[in-house]
Amino acid sequence: MNAFAGPGRFWRGNLHTHTTNSDGALSPAAAVEEYRSAGYDFVSLTDHFRAEHGYPVTDTRPLRTEKFTTLIGAELHAPRTRLGSSWHILAVGLPLDFAPVPGETGPELARRARRAGAFVGMAHPSASLLTLDDAESLDAAHAVEVYNAVSAWEDRGDSWHLCDVLLARGHRLTAYAADDAHFQPQDPPGCAAWVQVRATALEPDLLLAALKDGDYYSSTGPEIHGVSVHDGRVTVACSPASRVLVTGGQPGKQVVAGDGITECTLPLAEFRRYFRVTVVGMDGVGAGRAWTNPFWLD
């Protein structure tokens, strides 16, 4: 999984958004326009797949243009997790005829979505109080939603702890950030967290395949231009940063701190199973964080 080594370019997108087809404030067309006008390349409208909303899988194909595209998706629900009344499972790349099955558990629903071709994510696990047992039972997941902008507004936006525990236990997952935008008055502004997906063209099938392959990184501001591994060290190129960190499957880290770092090299000797890179932006323009997917060392 090295999104910086393959052909193509990065395309900016949001994987988790709600509209008036469930509990969002904007119509599908208006939500798409929010992202298009903000400079995004694609979006997935993932309305709540629940009976009270008519189990929507929102058809966004008419909203695609030559320079902006969409992925068909939904946020799937089933009872129940250890501490919550229902599962929250992101499914991007669903067929339009995906339908509910009575009595299905969350893990069964996720497996069916994956068999149908979807990229499956554990949506806002921190906000949902997802336990490790819950997460390990969701064996169809491709990824963990490690940052959720709406949940961050509620002080439960960061789910890296759960993701790192899963990775340390050998689960080969990737990690994405998302808005979870509802565009309601009480919500934070949209377009606050995104993925940069590497593909050779702005086509839904190529973007979906890249997501499944882990060819993306996530951000709330900074850009990561390159990550390369050589002679037991990792070199990172990025937009101006105040810190670049390497962490992995055990306590400990490698850090470079400074003013306007754009390239640095850090040792990997202490990391055994995997490592990941975090870039912390500067105050003002580019503030926030960017995260790579895990790089597996074994």
The two structure tokens encoding residue 114: 């994956």
Instruction: Name the CATH architecture for the domain at 224-296.
Output: Sandwich (2.60)
Q: pLDDT, tens digit, for every residue of 2-55?
A: 899 989 999 999 999 999 999 999 999 999 999 999 999 999 999 999 999 999
- Rounded-to-10 torsion of CA 220, 76, 52, 100: 160
pLDDT recorded at residue 284: 60
CATH ID of 9-218, from 3.20.20.140, 3.40.50.720, 3.40.50.300, 3.10.20.10: 3.20.20.140
pLDDT recorded at residue 105: 98
> What is the per-residue burial (b if ≥16 Cβ within 10 Å, else e) of 226-247?
ebeeeeeebebbbbbbbbbbbb
The two structure tokens encoding residue 83: 């501490």
Q: Output the pTM of the full model.
A: 0.97
Parts of the chain belonging to CATH 2.60.40: 224-296
Q: Mean pLDDT across the stretch 238-252?
A: 93
Q: pLDDT, tens digit, for every residue of 201-217?
A: 999 999 999 999 999 99
Rounded Cα gap, residues 275 and 141, in angstroms: 20
Strand partners, 14: 43
Parts of the chain belonging to CATH 3.20.20.140: 9-218
